[in-house]
Homo-oligomer: A and B are copies of this chain.
Amino acid sequence: MHVRRLELQAVKEFRLLSRVYEHNAALGARVLIPPGDDMGMVRIDGAEVLAAVDQIVAGRHFTLESTPLALIGRKAITRNLSDIAAMAARPVAALAAVVLPFDWRESQALELFEAMRTTAERYDCPLIGGDISMAEAPLMCSVTVLARPGPRGAIRRSGAKPGDGVYVSGRLGGSVQADGSGRHLTFEPRIELALALAERYDIHALIDISDGLGRDAGHIAEMSGVQIEIDAARVPCAAGCNWRQAMGGGEDYELCFILPAGVELPNELAGVALTRVGMVKRRIADEPAIVVCAGGETIDGSTLGWEHGAAT
């Protein structure tokens, strides 16, 4: 269940979320992972089936005027594939519901659908259904993906333990440029990396970095009941970013993952850089779930998060 914090101005998403989650216990044995993780999971005739939905809206997640339709369709699918990576799962299939503005031409619709279809297939996640409406509304694509667990089962946000190490893939920050372009349109969902990690290591917790490392590592800390301490000097920053921008930028679609103490991780796996950025500690009441150590100071890291739409 995704709710972008700063996107919800009138609506208090914390209360909305807690209302949704408070019913999790009553969902029954079929529901193996309830709302609150990157994907939900159910058991169907013996199989474990993961599912997640995510949407992009023109003017919020991309700039319609300046973004090629091929990249909009690509992003609609790859955002969801990043959720599959965040469970160390394998893609199975996708479904797309699209609202087209009334003034759209057929050629535009075709280009968008072709981009979604070919992206989905490239990641072995074929489109098996969809819905198209036209409305007096901005372009919207809502995509659902189905997945099956990877080599060690679905990896949740909730397994971090005091003493564990905190790692990230790639370099963070600067994904959304001022004109709406940038890596948020062309990023590579880290499915292959997540599966390679899960094959080799006992990953305790895993999330994709969509709202900024501060926010997303904070989700792991909250769900695991621990505190995460990030060393600002270790955060791998994209060119031109300082650690604050790297931790708060959002739309990185890299992975943040937690490994037991003592793991010797290579600097690179599946062609992606890996960096240890901090450690998991016991959480003491009233302390923030995530803190950042920078220049001798300790800062509440949960305040570092993506201000959605700031750059678009």
Contact = CB atoms under 8 A, between A and B. Distances in A.
B130 A20 contact: yes
Contacts of A138: 135-137
Contacts of A129: 1, 35, 39-40, 51-53
Interface residues of A, number: 76
Contacts of A19: 110, 113-114
Given A35-B127, A53-B129, A128-B35, A11 B109 contact: yes
Given A19-B113, A126-B28, A131 B142 contact: yes
A4 interface: yes
Interface in A1-38: 1-4, 7-13, 15-16, 19-20, 23, 27-28, 30-31, 33-35
Interface string A46-90: 111101111101011000000000000000000000000000000
A133 B47 contact: no
Nearest 10 A/B pairs, CB to CB: A40-B128, A47-B47, A45-B47, A142-B142, A144-B144, A40-B129, A97-B142, A53-B95, A55-B97, A2-B131
